[in-house]
Amino acid sequence: MKRIRWLTLILVVIMLGVPVTVQADISPPSYPPGSNPEPETESTQVRMMAETVMIDVQAGAPANSLGRAKVTADFTMRNVGSAAESMGVRFPISSNNGFGEFPEIKDLQIFVDNKSVTTRRISEPDPMWGSDSVPWSEFDVNFPPNTDVNIRVTYSLEGMGEYPYVAFFYIFHTGAGWQGTIGSADLIVRLPYAANPHNVIFDDQIGWSITTPGGVINGREVRWHFEDFEPEQSNDFQLSLVMPAAWQKVLDEQANVQKNPNDGEAWGRLGKINKEIQLYRRGFRAGASGDELYQLSIDAYEQAITLKPDDALWHAGLADLLAVHAYYEEFAYAEAALDKLRAMQEINRALELAPNDPKVKEIAEMIYYLFVDSVEQTDNGYIFHWLTATPELPMPTLPTLEPTLTPKATTPPLATETAVPDPAGETIPTSTPPTAKNPLCGSVLFIPLVLIVLAGRKRRHSGL
């Protein structure tokens, strides 16, 4: 064991001397995104006067789907020239998913002035990447001069991502081929429950998407409005969500603790699901909403261990949350040391209660790898040096948790309708700048070996 420990330390020292660029998990869309139609000809007098796109996120999805939405896109087209035009209007139905596969949009229907039209299959460049020829649908439309023609396109849109997050995309830039600018565009996302900054991720990049700025919450909907713009790829729409199945667990557990406030298991489950939607594979959600979810998770776990002080699993679940947060915040703020100490206290208590429980042992091992300078592994288990000696960093006094049958915190409110200020003038970054909350995203770092060890592990939070 000592030899392994020394080899580990040597490799860490070597790695510290090699700067490496590390980014959050990045993946191209696994399914074709929604899109504006484009004209068959390069030069046309037909202008897109207005468009309204409704992305209606469904409550349920098939077992192999992270999320599905029903899209209805309405376009008001006007021939501003003096001569009638007849042309094929094209709509992309496929895109390279990044693995050499070309899944297609499903359930496509197209209507012109409220009449269903027939389509034909053609090949055109990939609307996302441009390098491959992919299937498009083409349909014929007559555009009389100075007359509005209404086109409606409906289809099912698959989300992509990784549990518990899902992203949806919509391509505006295919509409750039029409005459002039797009007069106005309204994009509406409708959720099957109240929208809020906890289930719509406004202030952080989840790895493969970052929500387009400017969304305003109104009940179940989030709305974006654009005026008189010539769309480029940088204008294409992105939306990051907690997947509906995961958020429904939050709503269910919130209802459970409101109905039975002395149910320690329900409080523990609420802490666990709040943790799942706050933690990424590497790091955790930044911004105010991430901080709020972190505190909500701590509060729920504390209720669980207050009501069930001898339940090792909820002690271990809280230790997991605190340890990951402390690891990524270690150099950002002094209170990270408090989280680190509390994590050791909780996992130590869990090991005392259930030393052979597989999940407790798994979390204890994770904490050992995160804090190799503070934890020692022996044949008999672990020694948490911060619990037996004064830590090097000054520690604030921890609050004492007194077991009681009455929860010491009020029940967290159910998700409510919230308004989010419009960050006007903000542009969508192509990559996330380094932040204290997620130091792995878009920055040049020294990578400790423990990160490499953890990167190959399964997501730790499936059990607690």
User: DSSP string covering 388-429, please?
Assistant: HS--SS--PPPPP----SS-SSPPPPPP--------TT----
If you search the block for the tokens 């990524």, which residue do you land on?
328
Pair (403, 356) in one structural domain: yes
Q: Compute the distance between CA of residue 175 and CA of residue 171 in angstroms, rounded to an integer.
A: 8
Q: Which residue has the higher pLDDT, 217 or 431?
A: 217
> Where is the domain boundary, 196, 213, 244?
244
pLDDT computed for residue 29 by the predictor? 54
pLDDT band (50, 70, 90) for residue 332: low
CATH number at 189 reads 2.60.40.3680
Quick: pLDDT tens for 226-272.
999 888 888 899 999 999 999 999 999 999 999 999 999 999 999 99
Pair (174, 84) in one structural domain: yes
pLDDT computed for residue 55 by the predictor? 97
Identify the burial level of 130 via C-beta atoms within 10 angstroms of its C-beta, where 0-12 means exposed, 13-18 middle and 19 or more buried.
exposed
Pair (224, 274) in one structural domain: no
440: nearest Cα among 26, 27, 21: 21
Q: Which domain holds residue 267?
A: 262-410+457-462
Quick: pLDDT tens for 373-398.
899 998 888 999 888 765 555 444 44
Query: Residue 32 has what DSSP assignment?
Result: P
Residue 348 placed within a domain:
yes
Residue 25 placed within a domain:
no
Pair (271, 399) in one structural domain: yes
Rank 58-62, 78-82, 286-290 by mean pLDDT and report only the highest.
78-82
% of the chain with per-residue pLDDT over 90: 56
pLDDT computed for residue 100 by the predictor? 77
Residue 423 placed within a domain:
no
Pair (268, 239) in one structural domain: no
pLDDT computed for residue 167 by the predictor? 92
CATH number at 375 reads 1.25.40.10
Pair (67, 185) in one structural domain: yes
Q: What is the pTM of this model?
A: 0.76
Count of C-beta atoms within a 10 Å radius of residue 192: 13
Q: Compute the distance between CA of residue 81 and CA of residue 99 in angstroms, rounded to an integer.
A: 44
Q: Mean pLDDT across the chain, nearest whole number? A: 80
- Give how many domains the chain has, as a whole number: 2
Pair (232, 277) in one structural domain: no
Q: Compute the distance between CA of residue 323 and CA of residue 439 in angstroms, rounded to an integer.
A: 16
Q: Compute the distance between CA of residue 75 and CA of residue 375 in angstroms, rounded to an integer.
A: 62
